[in-house]
Structure 1
Amino acid sequence: MGVIVQTFTSRLIQVAATAGILTLLLGLAVFAAVLEAKEGVTPDSVATGELWSGDFLVMRLRRIGNSDPLSEVTQVKERLEGLFEMGLAPWEIKARKLKKGGALIVARGRVILTVTDAQARENDTLPGKLAFLWASNLRQALSEFSSFRLFPSSKTIPLGERFGFQLKGDFPGPFTITLSDPSIGELSFDEKTRTIVVESKKQGWSSLNVRSGDLNAVANVWVKQYAGVLPRSVLAEVTGNPADSELIKEAVMARLRQSLSVRPMAYVQLPDEIWVPASLPRGTSTALRVPVRIAGKDYLPAEEKVLVTVKNVILPREDTGYLMVSNRPETFLRSGVLLHEPIRDGVPVRLMFHHKNGVPGVDEYFQVKLVNRFAAPSKVFMTGGVGGPSRDEMQVGHLAAGRYLDVLMADKGKIVTIPARSEYLVTLEKLAPDRVISGILQFKVI
């Protein structure tokens, strides 16, 4: 008896992760020979000053109080261009953290820009980190003025994978290759192809620096994990004489969600509509491809057109071996487990539940889940109907019974595989105060 059925309520806290837009865009670009200061505006209508090198956004300053961001980036442009005319090498641009707060971007002993705590907060980071990133962007932009450079100038490498940067142009003699954060990865150099290979070891950011004499080539290296892992193919099993399109869609989506491995704070994107056949006769199968995407801030998106094979399995109709009832208390006054019962292997069981949220002013989440305590996967057939949530106690009971009889007479249901020592969510419904939910479900461990 390794599979347990539970009904319970909880005050579920859902954390929604949204794809963020980085203030600083790092990417491949064609650089102009001069820096250009531009006026901009954020999506929330805040004026900005932006420093560009060709199509590359080097930095963006937001207006804070009475500040003039356009004037500030113009001063950065003028200071750097003056130093560049005096032979400034990109590697001479550095960031310094101040003990009393804030940070500086400096070159040859001159202050190029003061990065304030307020600017750092607007970029959701710390002054030292923001100054370090902007200084790196400036080094990257100015390094393009020389024929001695790395290509590409910026790259995101999946954690555990390798990528090669090509060293282009002429250099006066021996050179050194370093990562500003050596823990990011290991370096190797192929003399024949002039390729520097970074084998990523840890998430984070680092600048890749190649120095030969007074020349310096810089590339930005990001190492990120994929937001999740997707299967190439899955099997969804249903029953029905025949299985209709609604059941097929439900089984496909449930199987896809179950098959995904999603990292913390990442989110899953599934299509709103998928094509499925109008019906699937018993003993037959069909296949379809469903685009699935897992994404999240600070992750690489994982995308796949998953091949889903849907098989209509023939199972004999059987009477239930025993009945489980979850209605004590019928009106619950706090969160907690309402029913906890084992399911016997090979014996069909029926679960009837009927509950009302009696917690004043608080939404509760009613859940039915199957818990597999085995050290091996368990295969479970399930079917049934749910009514509600509603204030009308009689109506939800009638709806649940009617839906259960409809699927029972058509032999409709689905078969799920619950991995070892894990659980499967059968039902999740939000119950507002004084709302009632009722259901009749049937399970069999096969």
Structure 2
Amino acid sequence: MSKDIASFLLVFALFSGWSHAREVRVKSVTASGRVTISVNGVPCITLASGAGSLSVQDRANLIRLRLERWAGAGANPKFGVARKGSSYRVTGAGEILAVPTAADAKRLGLKRRSTAHRWAATLQRAWNTPFLTLSPSGAVIGMGMSRTFQVGGGASGPIYVRSEPEGLVSINQSGKTITLTGRNPGQGSISVIRDGASVTSALLVLKLAGSVRPVQLEVTGGSVPRDVLEEAFSYEIDASMKLEPGCVYKLTQPPAFPSVWTRGDQLTLSATVYMHGPQRLGVTRSIPITVQRRKVDRATGTVLFYSNYPERVTVPQTLFRQTVNHDTNTRLLYHHQNGTSAAMNLGIDIYNPGDKSVHALVVDGTGPVTPDTVLTGHVAAYRYLKRHVDGVGIVLRIPPGARRRIVRAQLKINDTASGILMVRPLSGGDILLTAAAEHGPETDRAPAQLVKNDAVFPSPDKTIEAEYEVGKTWAHIALGRHAITNPNGTKLSGNYGVVYTVKLRISNPTPSPRKVQVLFEAKAGAARGAFLVDGKLVQTPMIYPPAEVKITDFHLRAGERRNVTIITLPAAGGSYPAGIIVHG
């Protein structure tokens, strides 16, 4: 809780006794030979006749004088009824106040006993009703926000309102309703004057902790899963928040994205956030969200960035920095272990050095942060393969000179972060892609000058045609055996991040049905495989040489031929070369 609000609560407690006027007003009005006595604006007793030697006005004066004496003494009488013979007396503060006559009772259509009880009950209710009230007795109002106050009590006549200091709030009055709108931050009060009485309520006007802008998301692909929509939202929500210094926000109601978005080109929904901070008014806001499905043409080329030097990071440093050319699919494979003596942050950033906004497509295959180097690389490959084939990605807008962090990984000692990303500028020019190991919070500074990096490989895709016929020699397909080489002569041992498309033809020339098996073979060490077999995603457990594990199998009828497409890529953390075996 901020000091401003804490001190206001103390003032609020003091002011709470001022939000109503405890004085008691007694009036008598004569009309048509009758006199009505009111307490705090509430008609309580109507006298229709005199009594004995007292005229109706004499009776009224005696009752009014007693009530005024009690009010002036600050008494809090308990009104009741006492019987004496055939008469009934209204009592209060240990005295007789009034005795209803037969004419008084007849006017009400009651007997004198019932009349006395009605007078006593009405007097008690009116006496306990403050003459003038203002509720609430205090309020915290945000700048630009409004709060309604209500004037109550028995007072009558014009209502006069003022704020202290002047200009703290704007005032709009309609009858007994007063609407205050915060204009300037500060502490003060509002006072209401009516019928000679006044009441005051405490005010605290604060700046709001923040405001929100609508979130505009763009994604690609015909079947967009929920996790991609959630990632797109996580990229953009920070930019949609306009927070005051020192304030933070919490997502209290995340957007209800569908499990898979398949229909239509636009999706509309919302999320709810709570913003708060020191010396600011916490506010809850709804963020409108629009998701647009974008159609993207095929890129003119593909290049692989390989960020693995050093694999074990011992000091904070820039790990990779390279230009991503416009309309080129750039695949980044990163795989780094925290070898420092403290927690470390790994950040992947897109920086726009130009003077125009850039829209960049990002296909994210991020593995979990874990000490298991094989697992994180395998999960990254598994996630990337599915999105790569389905064309599912997120389109980000990077303003001129701005930086967007697309990967935030927090690594404990010996943890590894691994992932495969595809980044492609769609409009606005080239961008800079950087990977950095950091101790401490990230900054918005622009990256340093471009550093030459030899781990850039054009044309990082391979297509292999293979054939297996039942009853003949098994088919062996090598993965990562023949390293690709870049123009500088640098080889990529294991071909990590290279996408293999295997076009496999299988046939069964025998007169009987036969089963054909497709196996994953470990050759260089521990490895796991992720494969798309005719669009179906398959993963294998970790195996060690010379083990083999099934990827899938096919049941071929006699004389049947079949074409199968298998897509895979060597995953970081595993040991390659490895292989695919087909036999039956």
Q: Provide TM-score, normalisation by structure 2.
A: 0.46
2:380 to 391, 400, 403: 400
User: Match for 1:276: what amino acid?
Assistant: P
Please say if residues 285 and 309 of structure 1, whose CA atoms lie closer than 8 Å, have aligned partners that are also in contact: no
Alpha carbons of 1:373 and 1:157: their partners in 2 closer, same or farther (altered >3 Å)? farther
Structure 1 spans left out of the alignment, 5+ residues: 1-16, 35-83, 88-143
How far, CA to CA, are the matches of 1:384 and 1:195 in structure 2? 56
2:258 is aligned to 276
- Provide Cα deviations, 1:117-153, integer angstroms capped at 9, x if missing partner: xxxxxxxxxxxxxxxxxxxxxxxxxxx9853444443
Cα deviation for residue 86 of structure 1 reads 7.7
Equivalent position SS for 2:328: coil
Asked if residue 347 in structure 1 is aligned to residue 328 in structure 2, the reply is: yes
Alpha carbons of 1:172 and 1:334: their partners in 2 closer, same or farther (altered >3 Å)? same
1:322 is aligned to 303
Please say if residues 238 and 312 of structure 1, whose CA atoms lie closer than 8 Å, have aligned partners that are also in contact: yes
- Count of paired positions: 317
Alpha carbons of 1:86 and 1:426: their partners in 2 closer, same or farther (altered >3 Å)? farther
Residues 18-417 of structure 1: pairs in structure 2 closer than 5 A: 24=9, 147-161=131-145, 170=155, 177-179=162-164, 181-182=165-166, 185=168, 200-209=182-191, 215-231=197-213, 233-263=214-244, 264-271=246-253, 274-280=256-262, 284-297=264-277, 298-318=279-299, 320-360=301-341, 362-417=342-397
Structure 2 spans left out of the alignment, 5+ residues: 23-70, 75-127, 427-584
User: Match for 1:350: what amino acid?
Assistant: R
2:575 is aligned to none
Cα deviation for residue 206 of structure 1 reads 1.7
Cα deviation for residue 285 of structure 1 reads 2.5
User: Match for 1:418: what amino acid?
Assistant: I
Equivalent position SS for 1:390: coil
1:54 is aligned to none
- Provide Cα deviations, 1:388-443, integer angstroms capped at 9, x if missing partner: 42223344333323332222111111112234443322111110111111222111
How far, CA to CA, are the matches of 1:225 and 1:199 in structure 2? 12
User: Match for 1:267: what amino acid?
Assistant: Y
How far, CA to CA, are the matches of 1:384 and 1:321 in structure 2? 16
- Provide Cα deviations, 1:163-196, integer angstroms capped at 9, x if missing partner: 67566675999989451x55x6266686x85887
How far, CA to CA, are the matches of 1:324 and 1:306 in structure 2? 37
Alpha carbons of 1:421 and 1:153: their partners in 2 closer, same or farther (altered >3 Å)? farther
Please say if residues 208 and 282 of structure 2, whose CA atoms lie closer than 8 Å, have aligned partners that are also in contact: yes
Equivalent position SS for 1:318: coil
Cα deviation for residue 321 of structure 1 reads 4.1
Cα deviation for residue 215 of structure 1 reads 4.9
- Provide Cα deviations, 1:281-309, integer angstroms capped at 9, x if missing partner: 5xx32424233122325544444444433
Alpha carbons of 1:198 and 1:412: their partners in 2 closer, same or farther (altered >3 Å)? closer
2:571 is aligned to none
Equivalent position SS for 1:345: coil
Asked if residue 430 in structure 1 is aligned to residue 410 in structure 2, the reply is: yes
How far, CA to CA, are the matches of 2:179 and 2:217 in structure 1? 42
Who wins on radius of gyration, i.e. which is larger? Answer: 2
Please say if residues 228 and 261 of structure 1, whose CA atoms lie closer than 8 Å, have aligned partners that are also in contact: yes
Alpha carbons of 1:163 and 1:243: their partners in 2 closer, same or farther (altered >3 Å)? closer
Please say if residues 158 and 194 of structure 2, whose CA atoms lie closer than 8 Å, have aligned partners that are also in contact: yes
How far, CA to CA, are the matches of 2:380 and 2:366 in structure 1? 4
Cα deviation for residue 275 of structure 1 reads 4.2
Please say if residues 251 and 273 of structure 2, whose CA atoms lie closer than 8 Å, have aligned partners that are also in contact: yes
Please say if residues 289 and 305 of structure 1, whose CA atoms lie closer than 8 Å, have aligned partners that are also in contact: no
User: Match for 1:185: what amino acid?
Assistant: L
Structure with more relative contact order (C-alpha pairs < 8 Å, separation 6 or more): 1
How far, CA to CA, are the matches of 2:172 and 2:230 in structure 1? 51
Cα deviation for residue 219 of structure 1 reads 1.2
Cα deviation for residue 213 of structure 1 reads 11
Equivalent position SS for 2:387: helix
Please say if residues 307 and 319 of structure 2, whose CA atoms lie closer than 8 Å, have aligned partners that are also in contact: yes
Equivalent position SS for 1:293: strand
Alpha carbons of 1:195 and 1:313: their partners in 2 closer, same or farther (altered >3 Å)? closer
How far, CA to CA, are the matches of 1:306 and 1:341 in structure 2? 35
Equivalent position SS for 1:389: coil
How far, CA to CA, are the matches of 1:209 and 1:444 in structure 2? 63
Alpha carbons of 1:354 and 1:225: their partners in 2 closer, same or farther (altered >3 Å)? same
Alpha carbons of 1:304 and 1:315: their partners in 2 closer, same or farther (altered >3 Å)? same
CA RMSD, aligned part only? 4.3
Equivalent position SS for 2:315: coil
How far, CA to CA, are the matches of 1:267 and 1:416 in structure 2? 22
Alpha carbons of 1:167 and 1:349: their partners in 2 closer, same or farther (altered >3 Å)? same
Please say if residues 244 and 278 of structure 1, whose CA atoms lie closer than 8 Å, have aligned partners that are also in contact: yes
